[in-house]
Amino acid sequence: MLALLISLQACAPSEPGVLRRPEATYRYPDWRNEPSRESFDVPAVPAGGMTAFITNLNYPPELRRQRIGGLVLVQVSVDSTGRVVDAHIVKSADPILDRIVVDAVRRTKWTPALKNRASVPLTFRIPINFTPP
């Protein structure tokens, strides 16, 4: 399973994999440097990069004020065209955060995984850590 990490917390400005938005700073690793997996050579990724996915995440101000956060783990299945065929929560932090994550996955356009230069379906997990200020 491919794992991506998005941490919604402040980061050093010079750190790679950082996207700053008015409501939060989003930190994520560059998963493209991970070694190839047996079932694929290139993972499924958001079309337009992580910025496209993060743009679809909305950490509500009221949850940040109440300091509600935590790790949400979502399992995503995309077909060989990159269409999301399933997205469900494996680990919940809060029902509202769960809905935000699943909605963001479904609103994001994905490029399919590749194996021997051919598009293949893939199931992977994305951990998303909501850290209130």
What is the secondary structure of 29-54 as a DSSP string?
A: --GGGSPPPSS-SB--EETT-HHHHH
Residue position matching structure tokens 């077909």: 79
pLDDT at residue 10, as a whole number: 37
pLDDT at residue 29, as a whole number: 54
98 domain-assigned? yes
For the chain, how many structural domains are there in total? 1
1 domain-assigned? no
Query: Minimal CA–CA distance to 28: which of 44, 11, 43, 41?
Result: 11
pLDDT at residue 121, as a whole number: 95
Q: What is the CATH number of the domain that holds 97?
A: 3.30.2420.10
State the DSSP code for 74.
E
Tell me if 19 sits within 8 A of 52, measured CB to CB: no
Residues of the chain with pLDDT under 70: 1-20, 25-38
Q: Which domain holds residue 101?
A: 6-130
